[in-house]
Structure 1
């Protein structure tokens, strides 16, 4: 920790950190013995290595998860027991919030000021789903057949394969782990090859919490090897994925080979709609939170800002002024306001989209370049970039950039705003900024989005379902609905006195 007024977090200086995978409560190397590098996006240097898991490692993890589900200790633990384990895991996450946060920051360049808050909130996911673990029940159904009792039970699916993206590994793992474990499933989790460290740190806490062998397994590796093997494995009964829509399509195709269920939280091009009666200062902060927080690397990023034509110039001026004050720097410094893009490939992609926007005729009002100062030149930084004069049919307005790039689009009236907002293949999130409560609810009802915020942006809770419309996904995470995504319904019939006189008559 710095002795100045700033607070700078650091990892212990122990050289390149060597990780192992976590399968069946054992820490092991990959079958091939190969490793891959994790690069700190602020320094551009390798800081950790993880095992290069492939199909053989996935198969070993799935077999361990299947055995735990069918015959292991886990198969005999009831909802109350699962709840106790989830609560213990939540306690440990809270106690280790700092190391978890630092690991993720060094892996993907997110801000420590954001990640500390996030890791300290993660126990809430464990506690919420622990509270549901012993409340998963079916229904008693009054059927129309005399002397018959009919009831349903909800049962776990079995082995769940979870594929986690690089932008928020811990949070998006808890989105899946909480309901899956509460419902009684077992899991094989594959982190992104960009960010393996924080989930392997989480695995240490899983072990310490006392989860039986095989319940939670973490296999590191690349998507086209380990990830592909996980999606194709015949013993995986459900696949839960967060990432790009293109990869989501591949997962659906692979899952169809063995009829695995899927839940997909995919891309977005979310509209942030500013009406002429909005509190402009608040709306400017909301736009900053929606696109420049996490360097725009969030599926729900408010990457299209629709502004009423009567306030467009005033709003744009305020947004540019506030954006010019954003402090880029070391993500582990609490005073830094925007960190890096997570890795070199994504960095190049974002810069290429800025070139595309300029070629399409959009005007760069701020940013648009890679910083060259001594502090920033080695990191994968992109200046917070604002495009003005954007038309909704431009590529920068239709394709997910996943970086700190925002498109400003004028609209005339409510109908025009809805037309522009819904004119996209995506439908993950949206926001409406207005003091007119009737308009706010009208807009919320007509926007094609799984989440709509009114006078705020980028808020999520373990209690509220989250997911997308259209190309933004299938299914919902968080809330009671998430638990149902990890269960299957069995209908049970009990005859209390009927005599079968005609075996060939069903009804």
Structure 2
């Protein structure tokens, strides 16, 4: 598949390509161009040329294009979900949810676009004060491989609705669905040059996006250290930067929680997308009086997860996306064993058998008795491994939960309104769930505190981040 610049499908100027693997088998099934800074420059030129006409289209007209695109995505959601499973690895059912989530996001910003307006005040001695909200210009986006379609929607929805044009770099291991979605939007009436996709490495294309002087805003989702580099690269041109980075989300289960619901919440919150979600449950804190029973129920439920190729019927967890992530997860669990940092209750290794040969599989894993300094509690574990820690009180749970450099999401499971209030006030996170975890509707702002990022995706907040204020004083 080729990349998309100025409405046309094109190869990289170098002629080089990147192989795209199916993580279920480790086999190559497609290639995309290995773009470079020169290709990125062509895309920026196209976006610059398209900006004036797109930004002057009526708000309603821009929203109509997003609605039409969303409608076509829904019509083709089965085909798109199969493609997403093939390149990313997640089960087909999860891929279908993600594609529909992309459409939801476009529809939300399509509905919001017509409500954009500035402010007015009559100021004695000065005249009439108008504050217009105008688009920034050309914006850049760098997205990861774990939720490529959904996160693409989070970035292009508000940017395009606000009247900006965009250059986007999809992840090298999962670019195909994003390219296909961009093509669908073009067919739905999005003019050439408004949305351009350049494939390539983060070191070349990603850094070129952050550094290019004509790009006025960069939105990045990915690892913390890379996010810091993006911010540094963007600083000389005083670009706006939105960073949605890593997380180590705590889940607190109080003594009065519905255990069955909490177990299901932990399983979905941790093992959805093979644990490759920034806001996945990554640290589980359970009150001591229910810890044994909860852990027993959890271990039994995790043992029932069916691992395999995401296109196979009955599979509830697919492979990890790539060899690097698999090796990292295996090393983290090996460290736990080598240092005797806990007990592996289930999983803890790569599954064996002909069905798993060549793929990047890791068994869903539960570990108990983890000490405070274990890598499972101190670093982000981006895969299907869940540590369980018994705590004596909500105060102890909150202290554990906040003992991290991250602050993306967190959840508390209880029926006690006092405990809910204490937890919601005490958890240092950008998003707190009560008796649920992981769900992020497009209508609410999402992002983190501390090293989990800057500013917010989704909601009206994201739309505002793609607009500039221009003050006009009129003296009659």
Structure 2 length-normalised TM: 0.98
Equivalent in 128, 134, 137 of residue 155 of structure 1: 134
User: Secondary structure, in 3 states, of the residue corresponding to 1:365?
Assistant: strand
Question: In the alignment, does 2:24 pair up with 1:45?
Answer: no
Question: In the alignment, does 2:348 pair up with 1:368?
Answer: yes
The match for 1:68 is: 50
The match for 2:228 is: 249
Question: Map of 1:92-171 to 2, 5 A cutoff?
Answer: 92-141=72-121, 143=123, 145-171=124-150
C-alpha distance in 1 between matches for 2:346 and 2:242: 38
C-alpha distance in 2 between matches for 1:291 and 1:104: 20
C-alpha distance in 1 between matches for 2:454 and 2:31: 33
User: Secondary structure, in 3 states, of the residue corresponding to 2:97?
Assistant: helix
Which shifted more, 116-125 or 29-38? 116-125
Question: Map of 1:85-96 to 2, 5 A cutoff?
Answer: 85-96=65-76
Contact kept in structure 1, 2:98 and 2:147, CA below 8 Å: no
C-alpha distance in 1 between matches for 2:312 and 2:102: 21
C-alpha distance in 1 between matches for 2:204 and 2:73: 30
C-alpha distance in 2 between matches for 1:317 and 1:412: 18
Give 1:52 shift.
0.5
User: Secondary structure, in 3 states, of the residue corresponding to 2:84?
Assistant: helix
Deviations 1:407-438 (A, max 9, x none): 11121111111111111000000010011122
C-alpha distance in 2 between matches for 1:437 and 1:359: 42
C-alpha distance in 2 between matches for 1:316 and 1:399: 22
Deviations 1:442-483 (A, max 9, x none): 211211111111111111111111111111111111111110
Give 1:177 shift.
0.7
Aligned residues: 475
Deviations 1:126-175 (A, max 9, x none): 111011112111112354x4252112111111111100100010000000
What are structure 2's unaligned runs of at least 5 residues? none
Give 1:353 shift.
0.8
Contact kept in structure 2, 1:392 and 1:409, CA below 8 Å: no
Contact kept in structure 1, 2:102 and 2:152, CA below 8 Å: no
User: Secondary structure, in 3 states, of the residue corresponding to 2:331?
Assistant: helix
Equivalent in 384, 400, 403 of residue 420 of structure 1: 400
C-alpha distance in 2 between matches for 1:120 and 1:237: 30
The match for 2:13 is: 31
Deviations 1:222-252 (A, max 9, x none): 1111111111111110000111111100000
Question: Map of 1:265-280 to 2, 5 A cutoff?
Answer: 265-280=244-259
* 1:234–1:464 CA distance, 2 compared to 1 (3 A): same
User: Secondary structure, in 3 states, of the residue corresponding to 1:247?
Assistant: helix
Contact kept in structure 2, 1:341 and 1:380, CA below 8 Å: yes
Question: Map of 1:148-297 to 2, 5 A cutoff?
Answer: 148-297=127-276
Give 1:392 shift.
3.0
C-alpha distance in 1 between matches for 2:122 and 2:337: 64
Deviations 1:27-84 (A, max 9, x none): 11101011110010001100110000110000000111011113xx324312111011
Give 1:118 shift.
2.4
C-alpha distance in 1 between matches for 2:250 and 2:126: 55
Question: Map of 1:275-424 to 2, 5 A cutoff?
Answer: 275-360=254-339, 361-424=341-404
Give 1:333 shift.
2.1
C-alpha distance in 1 between matches for 2:28 and 2:229: 30
C-alpha distance in 2 between matches for 1:163 and 1:339: 25
C-alpha distance in 2 between matches for 1:244 and 1:224: 13
Contact kept in structure 1, 2:55 and 2:135, CA below 8 Å: no
C-alpha distance in 2 between matches for 1:161 and 1:121: 21
Give 1:216 shift.
0.3
C-alpha distance in 1 between matches for 2:285 and 2:375: 16
Contact kept in structure 2, 1:241 and 1:248, CA below 8 Å: yes
C-alpha distance in 2 between matches for 1:35 and 1:172: 24
C-alpha distance in 2 between matches for 1:334 and 1:483: 39
C-alpha distance in 1 between matches for 2:336 and 2:364: 14
C-alpha distance in 1 between matches for 2:275 and 2:443: 25
User: Secondary structure, in 3 states, of the residue corresponding to 2:400?
Assistant: helix
